[in-house]
Structure 1
């Protein structure tokens, strides 16, 4: 009976050893499959990221072009508005002469000339020159620049925020 128990034990060890080897082989196969799927997912993610980068680049280019176009239109409108303002001030100079005196009329004519010179300067400069002028103005009077920025920010908020008072 000892021999058959020993044979049974040896047979059980053999079967257990084979089961361990099969489990190791199964684990290796699962590992290889997981690695393959991970590589596929990584490749797909890289491809998708590349596509998104291309789309983002295209949108950035379009936004830049549209921004430049809008800036040019804004510059032209601002210049035209300054010319009109200068003409209006100049046109009222005679009335000011009659009602307040020649000295005040001369102030109006000087102001009109300055406004029209500013309009001409604005129209003749490119955006790089305007940017440098703006930087210089901020360096010379930062408090005024902050005030102008605050007013502009308020105006933009009112313009784009609409009149919806339910947010308040």
Structure 2
């Protein structure tokens, strides 16, 4: 019996080693399934691409709307600050004119009437400049500045340099 078991195991081994030949239509079915899956993947990718483009457009439109809102808010705030700056500058010029006028008598006494008259004339000029500044709108002042720069670019650069130097001294001297 031992011999019979041995011959059976040899036979079993021989049948187990033989590969089963695939049916001819199984290969065609696998190719068909693969191609169908490939087409489905392509369609899914196209759908994702369309969805991504739609979302990108929606986000772009949303961002554009917000940027327009921010720009309008910034323009409004800039206008308010410009009006406030104009008012402060006008008040400062008027105050300076008043101080010069108040000191004209002292200048008369110390240096003579001629210099006192210069101080009064300067005071009147400052008061007139303050009144003109108050009377003009921001747009008019901007146009006046552009016209001045067109007519006298060298003077405009010089004034800007002096103003920059004074601002640097004013704010830079507070360090340390």
- Seen in structure 2, the aligned counterparts of structure 1 residues 164 and 100 have a Cα distance that, compared at 3 Å, is closer
Unaligned runs of 5+ in 1: 1-7
Which of 89, 112, 123 is the aligned partner of 2:123? 112
Aligned 1:66-81 pairs, distance under 5 A: 66-81=77-92
Larger Rg: 2
For 1:5, the equivalent position in structure 2 comes to: none
Q: 1:37 aligns with which of 48, 56, 64?
A: 48
Give the C-alpha shift of residue 152 in structure 1.
Answer: 4.6
Q: TM-score, normalised by structure 2?
A: 0.76
Q: How many residues align?
A: 155
Structure 1 segment 106-145 matched on structure 2, within 5 A? 106-145=117-156
Unaligned runs of 5+ in 2: 1-20
Distance in 2 separating the partners of 1:152 and 1:53? 38
Give the distance between the partners of 1:57 and 1:153, measured in 2 at CA.
Answer: 33
Shift of the 99–162 alpha-carbon distance from structure 1 to 2, 3 Å rule, reads closer
Q: Residue 95 of structure 1 is aligned with which of 95, 106, 109? A: 106
